[in-house]
Structure 1
Amino acid sequence: MPSLRNVLNFQTGLGVLANMFLFFSYTFIIIGHRPKPTDMISCILAFIHMVLLLTGTDIWLTDIFESLNIENDLKCKTTFYISRVMRGLSICVTCLLSVFQAVTISPSSSYLAKFKYKLKKYMIYAFLFILSFNFSLISHQLLYSGAFTNVSVTKQMQVTKFCSLFPMNYIIWALILTVTMSRDVFLVGVMLATSAYMVIILFRHERQHRYLRSLSRLRASPEKRATQTILLLVVCFVVIYWVDFIISSSAVMLWMYDPVMLSVQKFIMNVYPIITPLVQISSDNRIINMVKSLRSKSHQIFL
C-alpha cells in the first residue's frame, strides 16, 4: 500500500507544519498582545494535534525509536498511550473551546455573562482536570498493548506492523467502554448544545441588524468570525468522530484490523487535526496581519 502510505505521510507533514505554525502564532499573540481567553485553548489544541499526528504515524516513530535502540514493547506501549491520551484531550479541549466561546459572546443579560471575567481562572482548573482525567482513564493501554508476536497463539489484534492489542477481561472491557462512551457522548452533547446556543445568538444579532438597518457590533467584530470558526470546527469534529467510532467499533467487535481499514481510519483521524489549524489561520485576522507584516519586513531586508 505505498500510495496510502504516501498519502498518510503527506497528511502528517501538512498537519504538523500547520499546527506548529498555529502554536507559535498564538504563543506570540499571548506573550506580546492582549490575548482572548480562547487563544490559550487554541494554542494548547494545536500542540495536542501535533503530538497526535506524530504518534499516529508508525513510519516516523519507528525510525526514531530504532535510532534510540528502544525495545518494540516499550515503543508500542508509549505510542499507544500517548496517542490515546491525545485523542481524549482533543475532544475535551475542543469542547472547552466551544463552551468558552459561548460564554465570551453571551449577552450581558444572560446567566453565562457572570462567568466572562473569570474565564482564565476556570480555564486553568478545567484543563488540569481534563489532563488528569484522560491520563488516568487511558492508563489501561499500558497493560493491554505491546509488541506483536503471534496472533494465532496469543489472540492479539495487530493494529500496526509491530504493535498489537491484547484481549482483556469482559467486565474490565465493558467498564472502560462505558466510561469512555459516557465521556464522549457527554462532550459531544455539550458541543452541540453550545453550538446551538451560539447559532441562536448570531441569528438574533443578524435579525436585529436587518431590523435596525445598521451594522451590529457582533457582525463587524472578531467575535463573530471566531464563533463561526468554532462552529465549523465542532461540526467537522462531530462528523469525523462518529465515522471513526463506527470503524473502531467494527474492528473491536470482529477483533480484526484489516490493513486497509487501519489506513482509512488513520486518514479519517488525521482530517480534524489538519482542518483545525488551516481554518483558524485563515479566519484570524491577527495571524493574517502577522504573516503580512513578516512578509513585508523580509521583502524590505532583501531589497
Structure 2
Amino acid sequence: MDGLVFADLNWAIVFLTQTSIGILGNSFLFCLYNFSLLTARGLRLIDVILIQLFLANNLVLFSKGIPQTIAAFGLKDFLEETGCKIVFYLHRVARGVTLSTTCLLSGFQAMTICPTISGYMESKIKSLKCLAFCCFLCWILNLLINIHNIMNVSGPNNSRNMSIHNMYRYCSAPVAKGFTFTLLAMLYVLTDWTFLGLMAWASGSMVLLLHRHRQRVQHLHSQSLSPRTSHEARAECTVLILVSMFVSFYFLAASLSLWKTQALSPSPRLMSISVLLSLGFPTFSPFVFLFSDTHIYQFCFVIWARKTNISTFVSGV
C-alpha cells in the first residue's frame, strides 16, 4: 500500500510539473500575441491561428492535466456528475480544436508560400476575415462532434449497472457497443484522419518547396540571402517541427489508448503514461515558438526598450 501511495505521489509531481510548465508557456504566448494583435504592432495574420492554438492547449491542460494531478494526489470523487460532464466535454473539444488548428496552421503556411496560387486566392487566404471564419469553424465543428459526451459521461459513483470505462480515475462512462460504437469510431477516425491527411499534405508541400528553394540558391553565398527569405524559411521550419511533434504525440497516445482499452484491467502506470503522452503536445509546443520565433524576441525587446526609456526619463525629471 505504501508503495502504491509513493508511486501516485511521484506521478502527481510529474503531472503537476508538466501541467504548470505547459500552462505558463501557453499563457505567456497567448497574452503576448493578443497584445501584438490588439495594438497592431508587428501584426501577422498567422498570429490569429497561434492565439487559438495556445488557447486550446491551455484548455486541454486545465481540463485533463489539473484533474489528473488532483486525483494522483489522492483526492477522490472531487467532481460531481455535472463536473465530469463539463470537464470531459471541454477536454474533447479542446483536443479537437488543437488538431484542427494545427492543420489550419500548416495549411496556411503551405498556401502562403505556394507559387501556384493565384492573386485572388492569395488575397482570400491572407484575409483576416477568412482566418477568423476558419478558426470559428474549428470550434463549431468540435462542439458538435463531441456533444454526445455530455450524455454519456457520469460521475465516479454512478455506474448505472453498466460496463464502465474509467477516465482520469475520477469520471466514468458506459462502454459503447454495437452500432453506437461503430458510428462514434467512424466519426472520430474520419475527422482525425482527415485533419492528419491535410496536415501531411501541407507539410509535404512545404518540404518540397523548401528543397526546391535551397536548390535555387545553393550557388549563392548565404550572406546574400535577404532577411525576408531567412524569416520565411525559419517560419516554415517552425511549423514543420510543430506538425512533426503533434503527429508523434498523437500516434503514441492513440496506440497506448488502444492498448489500454483492449486490456481488461490496465495498470495505473499504463494509464499515467497515456496521460503524459496526451498532454505532451500542449505542454511543449509553445516552447517551439519561444526558441524559434524571432518575432517574440523583437517584440519583447521593443517593450524592454520603451520601459527603459520611460525609466530614464522619469529619473531625469
Q: Same fold per TM (> 0.5)?
A: yes
For the 8 Å contact 2:68–2:168, the answer to whether it is kept is no
Change (3 A) 1:111 1:21: same
Which letter does structure 2 place at the counterpart of 1:238?
V
Is 1:115 matched up with 2:124?
no
For the 8 Å contact 2:34–2:51, the answer to whether it is kept is yes
1-structure distance, mates of 2:59, 2:306: 32
1-structure distance, mates of 2:95, 2:79: 24
Which residue does the alignment assign to 1:179?
Answer: 187
Change (3 A) 1:113 1:260: farther
For the 8 Å contact 1:103–1:115, the answer to whether it is kept is no
- TM-superposition CA deviations, 1:233-290 (whole Å, max 9, x none): 0011111101111111222333654322221111112211122111112212121122
The offset of 1:292, in angstroms, is 3.2
Which letter does structure 1 place at the counterpart of 2:31?
F
Change (3 A) 1:236 1:165: same
Change (3 A) 1:173 1:27: same
The offset of 1:114, in angstroms, is 4.0
Tell me the number of residue pairs that the alignment of Structure 1 and Structure 2 aligns: 296
Aligned runs of 1:118-197 on 2, under 5 Å? 118-119=124-125, 120-149=128-157, 153-197=161-205
Aligned runs of 1:243-254 on 2, under 5 Å? 243-254=252-263
For the 8 Å contact 2:48–2:132, the answer to whether it is kept is no
For the 8 Å contact 2:12–2:70, the answer to whether it is kept is no
Aligned runs of 1:51-130 on 2, under 5 Å? 51-57=59-65, 58=67, 72-107=80-115, 110-111=116-117, 114-119=120-125, 120-130=128-138
- TM-superposition CA deviations, 1:97-149 (whole Å, max 9, x none): 00000111222xx0366422112333233222222111111111112111112
1-structure distance, mates of 2:121, 2:266: 46
TM, length-normalised to structure 1: 0.88
Which letter does structure 2 place at the counterpart of 1:117?
S
For the 8 Å contact 2:238–2:292, the answer to whether it is kept is yes
Which residue does the alignment assign to 2:278?
Answer: 269
The offset of 1:221, in angstroms, is 3.5
Which of 2, 24, 37 is 2:9 aligned to? 2
2-structure distance, mates of 1:55, 1:258: 22
Change (3 A) 1:123 1:226: same
TM, length-normalised to structure 2: 0.85
Other structure's SS at 1:143 match: helix
List runs of 5+ in structure 2 lacking aligned partners: 1-7
For the 8 Å contact 2:260–2:271, the answer to whether it is kept is no
Change (3 A) 1:189 1:217: farther
State the Cα RMSD in Å. 2.6
Deviates more, 1:80-89 or 1:256-265: 256-265
Which of 279, 289, 293 is 1:280 aligned to? 289
For the 8 Å contact 1:151–1:158, the answer to whether it is kept is no
Change (3 A) 1:296 1:125: closer
